[in-house]
Amino acid sequence: MSVTRIEPAPLRSGLPSISESSSGPASETPWEAVRQWLERPRSARQMVLWLALYLGVAANWPLWNELARIGGAPSTYLPTIAAMSLLSFCGTVAMLSFTAWTRWMKPLWLAVAVLAALVQHYMLEYRVVMDPTMIANVLQTDPNEARDLLSWRMGFNLLVVIAPVAVVLWFARIAPMRWISQLWRNAVLLLLMVVVALVAAVAMNRQLAPLMRNNVHLRYMMNPIASLYSTGAVFIKPLFKRSGKLIPITAGTTLGASYAAQQKPPLFVVVVGETARADHFGLNGYARDTTPELAKRDVLSYRTVYSCGTNTLASVPCMFSPLGKQGYESRKDDYENLVDVLQAAGLAVFWLDNQAGCKDVCTRIPNASALDNLPPAAKSALCDGEECLDDVMLEGLDARIAALPAERRAKGVVLVMHQMGSHGPAYYKRSGADMKRFQPECKTNALAECGHTELMNVYDNSIAQTDRFLGRTIDWLKGQSKQYDPGLLYVSDHGESLGEFGLFLHGVPYSFAPEAQKHVPMVTWFSAGLSERRKLSRPCMEAGLDAPLTHDNLYHTVLGLMDVNTPTYKPALDALATCRKGGAA
């Protein structure tokens, strides 16, 4: 009888084999698990939803802070924050639904995150809002101004928001889908977000309607939807709003009777100031003597002048326009401006810039940057890289004037000087070492790091620098009296917020901008020759220093001073018409 031998089964160890331990899930690191989860194929709509949700949480702190400040008690502002967050989320998803297609949308999604991070940084740092005007202003910022805005705080704030998005987008896999399926799914997502937003808005209408009506700036703090909307408005609205053609206004322009038998031609300087506040001029009663040089030179300071806009892009073209603020903002075409009219009259007109361009005002007349043909010694003394103190515009000025056509100079010269002035946030760069009389001053562009006193000091130093520049310009004009009858008019393009109501810089939409961003200084100086030529009454002008004026008056006042006859001139808007003996009443 045969016996079958049964071999005992090998004992299994409780430990995994070498091969098992090298590839089993038990050995996965947390990072590998996260990476595998990130690499799972997902639809583009899922990515859009996640991006909108993330940015709604990570990039809306300025909105929440402002709602908490306005709301008072948590029981009041917390429901409002929830409602506004939902509306912002729905709006962002609705916009991004148009991008929910393929993996090639990743760079665009990252760009949206970068935009949201940038906007949040500036809203937190300077309390600005990104309405279409501010976006347009940002797009025209030159490299020097952009460099002034850079800081380590900015880099940190951007990194915190952008890094998680960049990591997710790098590893994320977008599942391919037929375009027709993608199209109807995107349409459903868009419709769903619109419906949810409408339901939420109706449900919270009693709370949201008065809040938004009384605090219009909140609609421009919903990030990134407000920035995306404002950026789109900057590029799209002009296509429908204006024809793009230039309307001439110079027909019928002639020089007045004062030119017929003149002994000397006029030389008139218009200084376009930058970011100066009327209430920080010592001439206007400011406690600090920020304008000692102007006070020595027998100038007239107008104390109740208001700007056309709250940023350079809005104000400078508007103040040279014949249309006035309302007409300029509602125009459908572009129009010639003050310098075109002066040139058409036969005068020598020249625009000298120490700023980021003339905003298309000077494109049809001779113009130059203050850095053009600047001697190395002057650049070394007055400039920090490509940024210069305004005194640089006085360098070689005689040669610039002499280069204008002789037949025009014989009739008269109008020179426009566009200042760097008190442009922020790097106020400490706007005054020379010998002009820093108010100490200690803020020495950074991160204004939140500076105390209120330091901020006031550095800003007032920049005003003092402007005072000295204007004083030196008047002295230069006095030196031209043998050849010309000189005069000067200075007016700032807009004001500046210095922490009042938690606001910094400028650019708040005009309808709810604070007084500090709209109330600007205006100063005039007339030589005896120009005063006699235009029969200006000094007592009359002194009596009108508190008369309410705006940028609307500049166009007509300069034409009146230069005795230029043109159909667009309106005596009622000429600030000095009533002070010219025998002039318009």
Write the pLDDT tens digit of every residue in 75-112: 777 888 888 889 889 999 998 999 888 888 899 999 99
235 and 273 fall within a common domain: no
Segments of 377-518 assigned E as strands:
383-384, 387-388, 413-418, 485-492, 497-498, 504-505
Residue 502 has pLDDT above 80, yes or no: no
Whether 378 and 443 have beta carbons less than 8 Å apart is answered as no
In a domain, 346, yes or no: yes
Q: What is the pLDDT of residue 357?
A: 86
In a domain, 246, yes or no: no
Query: Which of the four pLDDT bands, split at 50, 70 and 90, describes residue 27?
Result: low
314 and 221 fall within a common domain: no
| Radius of gyration over every alpha carbon of the chain, rounded to an integer in angstroms | 31
* Mean pLDDT for all residues in the chain: 88
In a domain, 261, yes or no: no
How large is the average pLDDT for residues 155-182?
A: 89
Give φ, ψ of 481 to 5 degrees.
-65, -25
329 and 183 fall within a common domain: no
How large is the average pLDDT for residues 223-251?
A: 79
92 and 191 fall within a common domain: yes
Residue 1 has pLDDT above 80, yes or no: no
296 and 202 fall within a common domain: no
In a domain, 19, yes or no: no
Residues 473, 490: Cα–Cα separation, whole Å: 11
Residue of 504 and 15 predicted with greater confidence = 504
Q: How many domains are contained in the chain?
A: 2
- Provide the domain limits for residue 68: 30-241
DSSP 8-state symbol, 86:
H
275 and 165 fall within a common domain: no
State the CB neighbour count (10 A cutoff) for residue 64: 16
Query: Which of the four pLDDT bands, split at 50, 70 and 90, describes residue 243?
Result: low
In a domain, 584, yes or no: no
428 and 505 fall within a common domain: yes
Q: Which of 206, 224, 241 is the last residue of a domain?
A: 241
The percent of residues above 70 in pLDDT, for the chain, comes to 92
Q: Give me 546's structure tokens.
A: 């508190």
Residue 244 has pLDDT above 70, yes or no: no
Tokens 């210069």 -> residue: 388
87 and 158 fall within a common domain: yes
Which pTM was predicted?
Answer: 0.73
Q: Which of 208, 241, 274 is the last residue of a domain?
A: 241
Query: What are the b/e assignments for 29-53, b being 16+ CB within 10 Å?
Result: eeeeeeeeeeeeeebbbebbbebbe
Q: What is the pLDDT of residue 466?
A: 98
In a domain, 446, yes or no: yes
300 and 203 fall within a common domain: no
Q: With 0-12 CB in 10 A as exposed, 13-18 as middle and 19+ as buried, what is 580?
A: buried
Q: What is the pLDDT of residue 534?
A: 95
In a domain, 18, yes or no: no
213 and 277 fall within a common domain: no
345 and 235 fall within a common domain: no
555 and 419 fall within a common domain: yes
Strand order in the sheet with 519-526: 367-369, 348-353, 413-418, 266-273, 485-492, 519-526, 300-306, 549-550
Q: Give me 317's structure tokens.
A: 């073209």
CATH number at residue 429: 3.40.720.10
Q: Could you report the per-residue pLDDT of 198-216, keeping only the tens digit for each?
A: 888 878 766 776 677 667 7
CA angle 361, 408, 553 (to 5 degrees): 40
In a domain, 260, yes or no: no
The percent of residues above 90 in pLDDT, for the chain, comes to 57
Q: Averaging pLDDT over each range in 11-25, 32-46, 295-309, which range is the top one? A: 295-309
Residue 479's nearest CA partner among 359, 379, 578, 394 is 394
